[in-house]
Each structure stands twice: as C-alpha cells, then as structure tokens.
Amino acid sequence: MWLKRFAISFSIVLVLALALSGCAAPAAAPAAATEAAAATEAAAAAAPAAGGELEVFSWWTSGGEAAALQSLFDAFSAKYPGVKIINATVAGGGGSAARGVLQTRLAGGDAPDTWQVHPGFELLGQYVEPSYVAPLTSIYESEGWKDVVPSALLDLMTKDGEIYQVTVGVHRGNGLWYNKKLLTANGIEVGPTMSVDEFFAAADKLKAAGVTPLCVGDSGIWATSQLFENTLLGVIGPEKYKGLWDGSVRLDDPDVKKAMETYGKMLDYQNEDHSALSWDQAVKKLMEGGCAFSSMGDWAYGEFVNAKQKDNEDFGWVSHPGTAGSFMIVADGFVLGQGAPDVENTTNWLKVLGSKEGQEAFNPLKGSICARTDCDRTKFGVYHNWSMDSFAKDALVPSVVHGSAAPADFQQALNDAVTSFVVDRNVDAFANGLVAAAQSSGFGK
C-alpha cells in the first residue's frame, strides 16, 4: 500500500515539476533545431545495445528448423549488429535431448539468456515454478501484445498474473503429409479429410504395390508417441481427448483402448528402418519416394520448403486420420532466464520474436502460424492459410508429447509406455501403465 501511495504522490510531483519547468522554459528554439534534437533523442531511445552477447538455446537443428531460426537471427542482427549471437542448439526433435541438458545447466546456475519452450505444463512446471525465468508482462504491455495474442494462449503462459513466455509461432501437431506424386502413381487421391478407414484402405493398396505406406523416424521415441497421440485424438475425438488431461476420462476407457489398437495396426505399415531415422530423415525418405505418408506436426512443412518442394504438387497434407476439426497446439516460444547474463540483449531478442515482422519472416519457413492475430495472410502460402483457418474454427487441443497438456513425469511415462507397446503390442499393459502414470502425476483417477 505504502508503495502505491508513494508511486502516486511521486507521479504528481513529477507532473507538477514538468509543468513548472515548462512555464519557466526559455523562448522556443527554432523548429529545425527542435526537430533535430527530437530525432537524436528518438534515435538514442531506439539505439541498439552496444554489443555483448546473446545465448539462444534451442533444439532447432533440422534443415527447416535451422533456416527458420536463422531468419530470427537475421531480423535481430539487422537491428543489433554489434551483438554476438551464440547459437546453442542440442539436436533431437521435440527437445528430447535438449531439455535434459538445459535442466543440468539450470540446476548448476549456468542458465542461457533465453531458451525454447512450450507453453502450459512445460513452461509453468519446469521453469516458472522453480523460478528459473523472469516475468515478461511489462514487455507485453509496452509492446501492446496483450491486444494481439489470443487470450487462450496468454493463459497458457501466465502464472499469478505474470506472463513468462514470448510465443513466436503455433504449430499444428496433427498433420498427415504425403508424397503426392507417389500417391497419384498408385491411383490414390486424398480428399479434404481422411478417416481412419480411408487411411488403411490407401495403406493396403500401397502395400500391395510394394510401397511402404507410412514413414516414421522414431530414433527419438517422441515421434512415434506423437503418432499415437494423433491417433488417440482421431479415434476418441477432441472432447474426450481433453477429458483425459483433466481427469474426467480414464486412460483405460474402451475408446482409448480402441485408439491403442488402431495405433498398433498403423505400426504394421511403417518403414522397417524407423528406429534408425530421426523425424526429419523420415520426411526426407517420404520426399524421395521411400514411403507415402508421415504423421507429423507442421514443422515437417519447414522440411518441404527447405528442400524446395512445391505445395500440392510434390507433397500434400490432410489432418491425421479422423482428426479433421481439431487443431493440436504445439506452440514455440522463448523466455528470459532469471539472472540472464545479457538481459538487455535478451529483451531485444524477445521483442523481435513477438513483433509482426519477426513472426511474418519466421513462420513461413518453420511451418507454424503467427502467435499474433494481425499477421498479413497474403505473406503466407496455401498451407499456412489452411492452418490459420483451422486454428480459427477448430477444437484447440493441447499436446502431451510437446509438453503442454500434462506434467513432465507423465510425458516421460507416455514415452516409456509407447516404447514397450511398439515391441509387445499389449493394449492392456499400455492402458494400465498410463492410468497409473496419470494417478501418480496427480491428474488421473
């Protein structure tokens, strides 16, 4: 209270002082000189940090990811050429390896200035709760971002009234990508949506023709967990899917078991070398005609763009079987490390990420859509416009595999259960394992 009163009386004093000094001001300076002085002042206010460093920690190492990250570095360096960027990446899609490295650094008091994060449980549980990050609410206010970032997204980044992340793009996790020429050569045409049955019909046809229907790259287990997560959404639908994470639907529900069976059946159509490939190598294999479909978030789009493939000519997309009408949110953002060595540079970096220009440069390359609602649609191609429409009208659901829907211990338990299921195909063990994990994580009944 005293602080508030102090602030109010301080501002009254300030206003009075300014008014008084205005009264006492000498005769007005010539207009040109005033303008010049104002210009200098403005330039000084907008002056870039003199130099120093900025360490950016992420897992963006695939061809498409690295190109998109570079666009952010370019946008930053154009404004702050004197700052040396340290590109601290740890390879491994979905952050599977990066998060462990980061935790070790954070625990050891060696935080990077800024790091990649998903909103929801990952941000709030792993970084806000233990005070590893600083609030960014004042930047949201000074930049006017509260008016342009959807409130549902703001909620996922807010704790006790403070916002902790700047989101640069929103991926759609439930995509099914395909090699268009390969499908056409095999007499398969994909319509605007695809049911689970339609997928299996196409897969059988391809298999009979000696073509591998499904490409998976699960050298990082998260990629096949994502195939499961997408299939779960497709089989049980968005309402029930959301119920799993608030505890109102059990993970051994008969429909969940049906989804597990469907996932198991899908695995029968995957490439033999799946465990030797990363997610992006699987997408590359698809581009080269080594398989027809791949279920992946639209960071896959970044790989197609990076390889100069043409939308709806070389490759196509549809919602993962059964998931039309849902948008699985996988949003990417960055934080300000608590006690970051380069606070000013990091703040400027976050301002670039949150800006319209920054997001319009980054997202066409990354495959995600802007986190802001005011980006210029004409700067985006057919895929992005399709995804923006989906985001505007479809059921928005969170991803466990990408850290938003459930705590980290459950995310890990899901990956472990999937690892076993890929080998033993035991639906009951899979379901019981997830029920137990949800209970011990605190949200399952």
| Contact residues for ligand BGC, defined by CB under 6 A | 59, 65, 93-95, 171, 299, 330, 332, 402
What is the DSSP annotation of 162-190? EE--EEEEEEE--EEEEEHHHHHHTT---
Judged by CB, which is closer to ligand BGC: 372, or 402? 402
- Cα–Cα distance measured from residue 381 to residue 179, given in angstroms and rounded to the nearest whole number: 18
Pick 80 or 299: Cβ nearer ligand BGC = 299
Return the closest-CA partner of residue 395 out of 198, 240, 269, 274: 240
Nearer to ligand BGC, 179 or 306 (CB): 306
Q: How far is the CB of 141 from ligand BGC (least distance, A)?
A: 26
Cα dist from 356 to 76, 144, 169, 339, 372, whole Å: 13, 12, 11, 28, 7
- Got the DSSP string for 331-398? EEEE--BTT-TTHHHHHHHHHHHHSHHHHHHHHHHHSPBPSSS---GGGS-HHHHHHHHHHHHSEEEE
Q: What would the two tokens of residue 33 be?
A: 């000189």
Query: Smallest distance, Å, CB 296 to ligand BGC?
Result: 8
Torsion over CA of 411, 65, 61 and 409, rounded to 10 degrees? Answer: -10
8-state DSSP, 134: -
Min CB(365)–ligand BGC separation in Å:
11
* Joined tokens for residue 133: 């990050």
Q: Min. distance of Cβ 333 from ligand BGC in angstroms?
A: 9
User: Which residue, 384 or 402, is less far from ligand BGC as judged by CB?
Assistant: 402
262 or 359: CB nearest ligand BGC: 359
How far is 138 from 142, CA to CA, in rounded Å? Answer: 6
- For ligand BGC, which is the closer residue by CB, 99 or 180? 99
Nearer to ligand BGC, 223 or 388 (CB): 223
Q: Which 3 state secondary structure label does DSSP give 89? A: strand
Nearer to ligand BGC, 80 or 279 (CB): 279
CB 156 within 8 A of CB 402: no
Nearer to ligand BGC, 65 or 113 (CB): 65
**Which residue number, 179 or 404, has a Cβ lying nearer to ligand BGC?**
404
Give the number of other Cβ atoms within 10 Å of residue 153's Cβ: 21
Percent helix, strand, coil in the chain (nearest 5)?
55, 15, 35
* Min dist. Cβ of residue 349 to ligand BGC (A): 17
How many Cα atoms are found within 13 Å in the side-chain-facing hemisphere of 68?
A: 30
Report how far residue 338's alpha carbon sits from residue 122's, in angstroms, rounded to the nearest whole number. 16
Phi, then psi, of 421 in degrees rounded to 5:
-65, -35
Instruction: For the CB of residue 404, give the shortest distance to ligand BGC in the complex, in Å.
Output: 10
